[in-house]
Amino acid sequence: MKIGFIGLGNMGGPMALNVARAGYSMTVHDLTREAAGPLLETGASWADSPAAVARASDVVFTSLPGPPEVEAVALGDDGIMQGMTPGAVYIDLSTNSPSLVRRLAPLFEARGCHMLDAPVSGGVPGARAGKLAVMASGDESIYQKCKPVLDTIGDKVQYCGGIGNGTICKLMHNSIAYSYCRAIAECFTTAVKAGVEAEVVWKAVRDGAVGRGVLLDASLPRKWLSGNFEPDFALRLAQKDVTLATDLGREYGVPMSFSNLVLQEMDEAMDRGWGEKDSRIFLKLQEEKAGVEVRFKEPWKPG
């Protein structure tokens, strides 16, 4: 299988190197030839345009900053589509727009080609080590054909379903990550202003349920995502804890907008008579606003 790779920056360069080190024949392209230096040293070939990469490849990867760059490289003059032959596969590793991905895929299909979106998570260290989460979506048979190459890029390669689903998962992942950072910031600033050293509050959070990953590994899948609201920890107790936390913020003059939003929704859930239900039941309010219920299809099992 001949591989093409376009976009050899902080993420793309290390990912491409891991593909090359796995023994694949490669053709590469970037805005500057200098970026391709480490790949050329492994025996990869240089191409002067995305179209030239596509002409030389069975599978073409892109790792680009965002939707404008992806669209230009895919559809522009001397773009990927200009060079692809029937049966070839285009895989976009960028954090992209689901709407663009779903618009591009039929255009490639009309030329007898295929497209997968496969955004990655794990940062530059993960890219260098080949330890990325890869969220791939598109035609499953094409995914299976390309999975051995994806396995050289990441150690957790997941099929996410129809085209664009992987990109949606990546966007939600990143939004959760930065929202989590913001929630941590308001709680840490409150704690420090109330007299706790930063290292102490960090260690306390790291060693507690949050730092141990209990939310994603156990409590959310076992309770909310399974629709099981028999109480482990009652909502009335969680509401009391968040009330005390926001009271502390007000006492020390620290804005706690995220925590107050959570408290507002917990108060609404209490008004519905859910106080003795599991604390995660207040998440049903977001489901109501979104008009969708979030549940696993099969019963959740640990591990």
pLDDT at 299: 83
pLDDT at 217: 92
- Residue type at 84? M
pLDDT at 116: 98
Q: Which of 2, 131, 170, 223 is catalytic?
A: 170
Could you tell me the CA-to-CA distances from 169 to 52, 128, 137, 180, 276 in Å, in that order?
31, 22, 10, 16, 33
Residue 156 among the catalytic residues = no
pLDDT at 301: 85
Quote the CA–CA distance of 46 and 30 in Å, as a whole number. 9
Q: Within the chain, which residues score under 70 in pLDDT?
A: 303
What is the phi-psi region of residue 15: left when phi exceeds 0, alpha when psi lies from -120 to 50, beta otherwise? alpha
CA atoms within 13 A on the CB side of 1: 20
**Domains of the chain in sequence order:** 2-168 (3.40.50.720), 208-290 (1.10.1040.10)
